[in-house]
Chains A and B, each alone.
Chain A
Amino acid sequence: MLRLAPWFSALRSGMPPLRGLLPLVVLLALWQAINPQGSPYFPPPSSWWTGLSVLAKSGRLGAALSSTLITFVLAIALSCVLGGLLGLLLGRSRAARRALGPTLEFFRGLPPPVIVPVAVLLLGYVQSLKLVVVVLVAIWPILLNTASATAAVSELLVEVSHTLRLGRVATLYKIIVPSAVPAFLVGVRSAIPLAIIITLLVEMLTSLPGVGSLIVISQRQFHSAEVYGLLIVVGLMGFVINAIFVTIEGVTLRRFPPRASYMHDN
């Protein structure tokens, strides 16, 4: 039996009162009412809907949305698995951390968008390009957070496993992983908006099918109502993805509550 109440409360907590939405509603209503007909750049909100339904009827919206979402979901899943595993390995080995430190610092510092042209150059305009690029960008926060949390697991805890004569695998599952989960989730939290942005950027730059290329096509044809409508679609997509993540995070953190030890180094 699913218990929806705690999920909902996890979602609701930290949200400001809903009456704060009033200014937004008033703004949109005024926009609709004043309706700057002369200006093709500020189409009234009702026409955004018309623009979207044209796109939806032709089937282009659905195809683009599913292409973008599939890329995003696969990329985040791959980044979680690869980033989590590599982070654990790196965190457990001091020598590997020393050896790879400067290289990883460089990749962490490299602004993510520049990875797109590099990948285009090396891989060409293929479908898998999107996935590769997004994984290359989204994996870093997950990997680095997991590694530093794993490295910071208190020596006392590791000694507990010696005392209890736990094997290597059991130590990993019972001591190390639970301590690294909260930091891993922080990594995923920062990877998600990055992954959305980079998915859209790849689509915009390469015109591979997706919401990003759809917005750029509408913009080039000056279909401004479609551009605004797609902006709302992207916003809603981000909102739903975030809501799903917050729910998963809340449930996971109840299972693996953050320990004070991973906060401090040494």
Chain B
Amino acid sequence: MRAKLNIPGTLTLLALVALWEVAVRGGAVTFDYLPAPSAIAVAFVGIVRSGELLTATLHTLGSVLIGWVLALVIGGALGLLFGLSAFARRWFLATLEVLRPLPAIAFLPVALLLFSFSLTTELVVMVYASIWPMFINTMGGIANVSSRLNDVGLTLKLSPTQTLLKVLIPAAAPSILVGARLCLGLTLVLAIIAEMIGNPHGLGYAVVNALIAIQPEQMFAYVLFIGVLAIALNALLLQAARLLLPAYGRGAVETV
């Protein structure tokens, strides 16, 4: 994040929006359903006033939060287990590597079959997709801890638990935090996909519903709001990571 405002960038963005407005008002664009930015703004005020936006946002954010925590716990625990145990890597890792690339969206019909249109369906798909970055980054982070640090643990006669808590996890923290951030982004994406197809609530459903009802202004208002929400969530997490790990500075957290 830049501390200074990017003036030419902001001006370009404003100019693009103005161009859009003029093109639609002046009839220069031939799309049947492209609303002007001003009409979108009016629709946005409408969905804020009626409370629809708030209800949908709360549902999506709530399920993102539950899904994210579940994915962090499951992915983190699996990552720790596989990072620490060569036995687990030898006998179980290939199974996980077969399951990992299965596109989560293909699980949506299976989840629908089992749990029908519900929050469970949404969560199953979200968690399935988002445990993987957490798993890979935790496992990789633990496995890449320098063996010298391990020796320090031995020299200081730390117990295995102490070594884990005081040496391994802090050393792997930057990698784990990157995993947690990727995980949050994926949870949001999958929540929206699941709401579009599986669970008729939240922002994803609101977008599809506005599409079916042919309310382009409302649809664009939701879409733009989702974009801003996603960027805000990511920025929030970057900031939190920087507060948690000041020592690692920007490099460790911002890569990937």
Contacts and interface: CB of A to CB of B under 8 A. Distances in A.
Question: In the complex, which range does the number of interface residues on chain A fall in?
Answer: 35 or more
A164 interface: no
A47 B110 CA distance: 15
Contacts of B107: 231
Interface string A112-155: 11101110111000000000000000000000000000000000
A117 B95 contact: no
Name B's interface SS.
helix
A173 to B, nearest CB: 28
Contacts of A61: none
A108 to B, nearest CB: 9
B13 A103 contact: yes
Contact of A238 (B13, B89, B101, B211): B101
B112 interface: yes
Nearest to B216: A121
Interface stretch (A52-60, A75-83, A214-222, A249-257): A214-222
Given A109-B234, A110-B227, A200-B105, A122 B193 contact: no
Contact of A235 (B6, B102, B204, B222): B102
A19 B90 contact: yes
Name A's interface SS.
helix
B220 interface: yes
Contacts of B110: 219, 227-228, 231
Given A216-B109, A231-B107, A234-B106, A117 B207 contact: yes
B94 A15 contact: yes
B231 A106 contact: yes
Contacts of A120: 211
Contact of B197 (A122, A197, A205): A205
Interface in B170-222: 188-189, 192-193, 196-197, 204, 207-208, 210-211, 216, 219-220, 222
17 contacts: A20-B90, A21-B98, A23-B91, A41-B113, A101-B6, A103-B13, A105-B231, A111-B192, A112-B189, A114-B223, A197-B105, A200-B103, A201-B193, A216-B197, A227-B109, A235-B102, A235-B103
Interface of B: 6, 8-13, 16, 31, 33-34, 89-95, 97-99, 101-110, 112-114, 188-189, 192-193, 196-197, 204, 207-208, 210-211, 216, 219-220, 222-223, 226-227, 230-231, 234
Interface of A: 15-24, 41, 95, 98-103, 105-106, 109-114, 116-118, 120-122, 193, 196-197, 200-201, 204-205, 212, 215-216, 218-219, 222, 224, 227-228, 230-231, 234-235, 238-239, 242
Given A20-B90, A99-B8, A196-B103, 17 more contacts: A17-B90, A19-B94, A98-B9, A99-B9, A99-B11, A99-B12, A102-B10, A109-B227, A111-B226, A114-B192, A121-B211, A197-B104, A197-B193, A200-B105, A216-B109, A218-B109, A227-B109
